[in-house]
Amino acid sequence: MKGVLLSLATGAQLVDIAHDIAAQDIDAARLAVARYWRRFPAGTVHLVVVDPGVGTSRLALAVASGGQYLVGPDNGVLSPALFARDAEVIALDTPAQASSTFHGRDVFAPAAARLANGVTLTELGVPVDSAERRRTPEAIRDADGTIRGEIITIDRFGNATSNIVARGGGTVAVAGLELRVVRTYSDGEAGEAVALAGSIGFLEIAVRNGNAAEMLRLERGQDVVHTRHDAQRNSA
Amino acid sequence: MKGVLLSLATGAQLVDIAHDIAAQDIDAARLAVARYWRRFPAGTVHLVVVDPGVGTSRLALAVASGGQYLVGPDNGVLSPALFARDAEVIALDTPAQASSTFHGRDVFAPAAARLANGVTLTELGVPVDSAERRRTPEAIRDADGTIRGEIITIDRFGNATSNIVARGGGTVAVAGLELRVVRTYSDGEAGEAVALAGSIGFLEIAVRNGNAAEMLRLERGQDVVHTRHDAQRNSA
Amino acid sequence: MKGVLLSLATGAQLVDIAHDIAAQDIDAARLAVARYWRRFPAGTVHLVVVDPGVGTSRLALAVASGGQYLVGPDNGVLSPALFARDAEVIALDTPAQASSTFHGRDVFAPAAARLANGVTLTELGVPVDSAERRRTPEAIRDADGTIRGEIITIDRFGNATSNIVARGGGTVAVAGLELRVVRTYSDGEAGEAVALAGSIGFLEIAVRNGNAAEMLRLERGQDVVHTRHDAQRNSA
């Protein structure tokens, strides 16, 4: 892919973003895109190739939003940009000679290189309305203010991020344990599992100097419940 | 190595290619070079440091072909370029103060930087004829059209590539199983092992949403046999 | 972090250095910085984010030395530059809106980008004298010339580096074994553990075609003793 990019877009700067997405993990790739894509400057082309459906009839997409471009398969990985109000989406033409197992090299990289060269979106294919949009499941707020959510991703440190917007105080129940909500990793005792506001604003389960996912056997989709002890008062 | 490159070749663009070659794995490095080197534009310098013989009398090589350069040890990793008709090969001078354990930093990176700066191959050393050339073993075609090959490399998804040129149809025998030949990863049932044309045109063993190498306990060198049921007719 | 860097420092070249530092491993990061930072050209900004104390009152530092800059937490990771005679050190201002779990993105990357843009150190914060300096423990030389040290780091090949300056000859005792001191990895028999001068000049324990750390169950801090059989004569 990098050879194709540099051959077609002379002088383009290549930046590796995520080396630790598990094979075929569309949701992890989607969440990674959500975290970072808006941090990049206008003109950036994001090439997202987590593509278990390669070679099938799934579309190949290019999206433009806010002066940036994203290129990847129509399987939900590009959803964070598809939800943007100004998103334009086209289906890329697939060259007849493309392999049926590596569109990263044969379809997506050539399109990304052309966008980097200033080719417009509409020159690369036809608009589509039906692109697959995946959302992170929303946490549910009970009448008493308790929030019921789930683990949505686990990072390489073993920290598990939930879909519960972090607010201070209270306790978090997960994996049969009740955890304190703290402010920094260092607020936990060594080896203590705690909950805190992660870097994207959601409650995160972590262990100081440890791997929370391994120690608590956490998995994506597992229930997380945040009880704020002042919940009654604030439940407006 | 990167510090040396950037210090000697100001403004050079560094591109990481393969983070997942196992330590000392000359054949995996050679196959990676084979897959990608011709995809890069003229002027590219490929720095290939899989070098178990560092510090011995093995030569340090630089190769020029098709306007590109490759730099690395004389142990076969550069073979894909050495087989090119226009390949020129020289043995790099080894500085007296080079360490005996890290020529990547002390020998290969300085030579790569000089090539990136426009220094010619012949300024860096003397021509050699005897560079080590390794080949992928060839698959064998029986009289009845059956092709007998082997697994030559396994990627980080657990997909195993054989040395059998992919043609549609028939069945593939490997690890005591008989597999369907399909067109895309998605043509397999979830968990089913199948064979298909991989991205470089060879038959590949894969499991949909799974790791074929782990599930089938595949290893490099293991027998793979492709039987085409129309083999008799096509055996011209 | 990369999005922040490229948004604030247009055209900056990003270079990934170390993908294999274990989570929270301040000493491994410090030793990596020691090995490479002086190899880079003037103007380089090193961004070092191994930061278990993120969100606490630990300072955020920027260091200038020899025309290069380093940015990171005040936990010892920047020590190799702090020991330089010309080192200038300032404490970075922490923006009020910085998260308490990811200063890499919210504090260090913006400062690194500003330094790359030519902003001077003193524009970014106030000088500090008390930055944390960690040293590699020194090996001890006995009266008879025997050197007693320890393993200070283990690389991804399983090679273990000690804090004993490599000199030829003699034997090395580690993990209950007595090892030959050789010159190159290839001087060992296949599977033999040996000691040799590593790339930074310290004695290193390695196994030809093998992983020394796994085979000998080596750990950081483990005793290593180098006995030179001519030690008596040279003990001046």
C20 vs B233, residue with greater confidence: C20
Q: Flag if B52 and C17 touch (Cβ within 8 Å).
A: no
* Element containing residue C88 per DSSP (H, E): strand C88-92
Q: Flag if A185 and C6 touch (Cβ within 8 Å).
A: no
pLDDT score for C230: 62
Classified as helix, coil or strand, C65 is: strand
Phi, psi angle pair for B110, to nearest 5°: -60, -40
Q: What mean pLDDT is predicted for residues A181-190?
A: 92
Instruction: Give chain C positions within 8 Å (CB) of B55.
Output: 183-186
**In angstroms, what separates the C-alpha of C228 from chain A's closest C-alpha?**
40
Which chains lie within 8 Å of chain B at 3 or more CB pairs, if any? A, C
**CB of C156 less than 8 A from some CB of A:** no
Cβ-contact C181, C204 below 8 angstroms: no
Residue A107 CB neighbours (<10 A): 23
For residue A56, give the nearest of B38, B184, B196 by CB distance.
B184
Strand-strand pairing, B177-182 and B193-197: parallel
Total residues found in chain C within this entry: 236
Please check the confidence at residue A11 and state whether its pLDDT lies above 90. no
For residue A52, give the nearest of B44, B158, B186 by CB distance.
B186
For residue B3, give the nearest of C36, C204, C211 by CB distance.
C36
Please check the confidence at residue A176 and state whether its pLDDT lies above 80. yes
pLDDT score for A217: 97
pLDDT score for A234: 45
How many angstroms separate the CA atoms of B171 and B179, rounded?
A: 5
Averaged confidence pLDDT in chain A: 93
- Strands (DSSP E) contained in chain A are 45-47, 60-65, 68-73, 88-92, 125-127, 140-141, 147-154, 160-165, 171-174, 177-182, 193-197, 202-207, 223-227
Q: Which amino acid is it at A142?
A: D
Total residues found in chain B within this entry: 236
Which distant-in-sequence residues (6+ apart) come within 8 Å of A177 by Cβ? A193, A216
The model's pTM is 0.90
Instruction: Give chain A positions within 8 Å (CB) of B15.
Output: 2, 6, 14
Nearest CA in chain A to C23: A157
pLDDT score for B18: 81
| pLDDT tens readout for residues B105-127 | 999 999 999 999 999 999 999 99
How many angstroms separate the CA atoms of A124 and A39, rounded?
A: 25
**CB of C36 less than 8 A from some CB of B:** yes
Nearest CA in chain A to C104: A199
Counting residues of chain A whose pLDDT is more than 90, the rounded percentage is 85
Helix (DSSP H) and strand (DSSP E) numbers for chain A: 7, 13
Residue A231 CB neighbours (<10 A): 18
Q: Flag if B24 and C196 touch (Cβ within 8 Å).
A: no
Please check the confidence at residue B236 and state whether its pLDDT lies above 50. no
**In angstroms, what separates the C-alpha of B153 from chain C's closest C-alpha?**
19
pLDDT score for B58: 95
Task: Please compute, for residue C142, the number of CA atoms within 13 A of its CA located in the half-sphere on the CB side.
Answer: 12
**CB of B22 less than 8 A from some CB of C:** no
Q: What is the pLDDT along chain C (236 residues), one digit of tens a residue?
A: 999 999 999 989 999 998 778 878 999 999 999 999 999 999 999 999 999 999 999 999 999 999 999 999 999 999 999 999 999 999 999 988 999 999 999 999 999 999 999 999 999 999 999 999 999 999 999 999 999 999 999 988 899 999 999 987 899 999 999 999 999 999 999 899 999 999 889 999 999 889 999 999 999 999 999 998 764 444 43
The residue whose two tokens read 């790359």 is C116
| pLDDT tens readout for residues A81-121 | 999 999 999 999 998 899 999 999 999 999 999 999 999 99
In this structure, of A27-31, B41-45, C166-170, the range with the lowest mean pLDDT score is C166-170
pLDDT score for B230: 62
**CB of C11 less than 8 A from some CB of B:** no
Interface test with A, best of B165, B186, B209 (most A CBs within 10 A): B186
Cβ-contact B53, B75 below 8 angstroms: yes
Taking the CA atoms of A35, A39, A40 and A45 in sequence, report the sign of the dihedral they define.
positive
Q: Which amino acid is it at C186?
A: S
CA distances from B195 to A25, B160, B170, B183, B199 (A): 22, 9, 10, 8, 13
How many angstroms separate the CA atoms of A67 and A83, rounded?
A: 15
* Element containing residue A214 per DSSP (H, E): helix A212-216
